[in-house]
Each structure stands twice: as C-alpha cells, then as structure tokens.
Amino acid sequence: MTGTKKDIIDQLQKNILAWQGFVPPEAGDTGGIGLGPVEAAFPNAVFPTGAIHEFLSAEPEHAAASGGFIAGLLKTLMLNGGACLWISMSRSLFPPALRAFGVEPDRVIFIDLHREKDVLWAMEEALKCEGLAAVIGEMQEISFTQSRRLQLAVEQSRVTGFILRSDPRKLSATACTARWKITPLPSELEAGMPGVGFPRWNVELLKVRNGNPGIWKMEWKAGGFMPVGENVGEAVLEEQSRMAG
C-alpha cells in the first residue's frame, strides 16, 4: 500500500513539474553541467537549463564569487560556440577574468542600462531569443510578477537565465527554479606552499523547486568544479548548524 502511495506521490510531483513549465532535458543531451554532487540536488539529478536561477550577493566580494561561479557554469553552456548576454546597470565584471573560467570573453555581449525597468525589459526580450546560450541580469530586486514573466519567456525558448540580486534584504518569493548564495572560502594549498590557491566557494543552494537544498564546498581547479572535503550536502549542513549553534 505504501509502495503505491509513494508511486502516486512521485507521479504527482512529476506532473507538477510539467505543469510548472519544467521540461526535463533528454538523456543524451548533456553530460551534466560539471557541478558533480550538487547536481544530485535537482529533480532527476539534472541541472535545470532553460530555467531561471537567482543568486544572492550582499557584498561586492560575494558578487565577485557569484560571477566566478556563473562563469564556470557558462563554460558548459557556451560549449558549442554559443553567445550570452550580460545585462546590468553598473557593471564591474572584468571580461578578461572570464577566460580563467574557460569562457571566451568576446562571446559575451554586455548591455549597460540606466534603469532597473530597462534591465528587466532587456532581459525578457533576451530570454525570448533562442540563439543565446544564457542571459545574466544584474538587478537590485525582482518582484514575483517580474520573475514569473521571465520564467514564461524561458519556457518557450529554453534559454538559461541568471539573476544576480544585489539587495537581498528585500527578499521576496520569486518564480525562479533555484536560489543560490555563493560566498568565498579561504583557499588551501599543498602544505607549506605560499600564496593564494584556487578560488574556493561555499555554495549554498537555498531553494530549489522539487529538489533538496544543501550546502557544498567547491573549488575551481583545472578548468572545472571540484568538490572539497565532505561531498554530502547534509553532512556539511550539520556541521554548519553545529558551528552556528
């Protein structure tokens, strides 16, 4: 009886996904986004492309870390010569740095606008364009309605959208598929070696639709994401809560 109940619930969850506009990618489509254990947190253990992801960053240091993390994701998304659009109001991203994450900076088109309204308009138009691999929008905040519009645009075109929110104090519910928070972690080198090591982040997946949120430690090393220390999200979570308590 319990078995059938579980089946029904699973079936319903899948239906909900479909009704919400989520289309699971075909099996042979991607070899993953390169996130390793993090991908298991998503439904069907596949990183949802063709969806909206939001990143929270209060400090410029966090914004830099989010920028690096997104660049790492772009590497896979732009693999076949794709282009992406980076829309912002006060852009500080330094294009040559993208090269370190395996992205050709000349395939990124920057749109610099003055008003948040224009950023949203440009982002919605860009997300409707099927020729792009990804669209990144930097904004202070986004309302539920606005995020829903972006989600609807994405459902048609299957473009992946990233929103960088710089003012997370006004945290509101959004229609985004996942909410991330990337913060920098002290880098570590081989024992006794001087200098700064590879970029290392604390990757928090705060919300994910029909998935399991968690916290991971990741490092960008040798052109890919590498999990650091304990790979199991729950374990790190426990450790975090213990430290907090």
Partner 1 sequence: MHKRFVTIWFRHLITDWLVIRQPALSDVPFIVVAKDRGRLVITAANILAENQGVTVGMAAADAKAIIPGLQVIDDRPGQAAKLLKALGEWCIRYSPIIAIDLPDGLILDVSGCAHLWGSERAYLKEIVTRLRSKGYDVRAAMADTVGTAWAISRFGQVTPIIESVGQATALLPLPPAALRLEPTVLQRLQKLGLYQVSSFIRMPRSVLRRRFGESLLLRLGQALGQEDEVITPLQVVQPYQERLPCLEPICTATGIEIAIQRLLEMLCNRLREEGKGIRTAILKGYRIDGKIVQAAIGTNRASHSIHHLFKLFELKIAAIEPALGIELFVLEAPKVEDVPHIQEALWAGKPGLDDLGVAELLDKIGGKMGAATIHRYLPDEHHWPERSIRPALSLREKPAATWRNDKPRPTRLLTRPEPIEVSAPVPDYPPMLFRYKGKVHHIKKADGPERIEREWWLEDGDHRDYYNVEDEHGQRYWLFRLGHYAGGQGNQWFLHGFFA
Identify the H or E element spanning 224.
Answer: strand 224-227
For residues 244 and 161, give the distance between their C-alpha atoms in angstroms, rounded to a whole number: 33
Cβ distance 87 to 138 under 8 Å? yes
Q: Binding residue for partner 1 (CB under 8 A) from 133, 142, 163, 208?
A: 133
Nearer to partner 1, 144 or 198 (CB): 198
Of 42, 32, 24, the closest CA to residue 214 belongs to: 42
**Per-residue interface string for the shown chain with partner 1, residues 58-97, x marking contact by CB under 8 A:** -xxx-xxx-xxx-x-----xxxxxxx-x------xxxxxx
Least Cβ distance, residue 108 to partner 1 (angstroms): 7
CB closer to partner 1 out of 8 and 223: 223
Q: Which is nearer to partner 1, 32 or 60 (CB)?
A: 60
Q: Name the minimum Å distance from CB 153 to partner 1.
A: 12
Give which of 146, 94, 95, 144 is closest to 119, Cα–Cα: 146
Q: Which amino acid is at 185?
A: L
Interactions with partner 1, residue window 185-204 (CB under 8 A): 185-187, 189, 194-197, 199-201
**Could you tell me the smallest distance in angstroms from the CB atom of residue 232 to partner 1?**
22
Of 201, 143, 151, which is closest to residue 167 (Cα–Cα)? 143
- Between CA 104 and CA 82 the distance in angstroms is 10
- Give yes or no for residue 126 binding partner 1 (CB under 8 A): yes
Q: Which of 121, 141, 155, 213 binds partner 1 (CB under 8 A)?
A: 121
Burial of 160 from C-beta contacts in 10 A (0-12 / 13-18 / 19+):
buried
Q: Interface residues with partner 1 (CB under 8 A)?
A: 59-61, 63-65, 67-69, 71, 77-83, 85, 92-97, 99-101, 104-113, 118, 121-122, 125-126, 129-133, 184-187, 189, 194-197, 199-201, 220
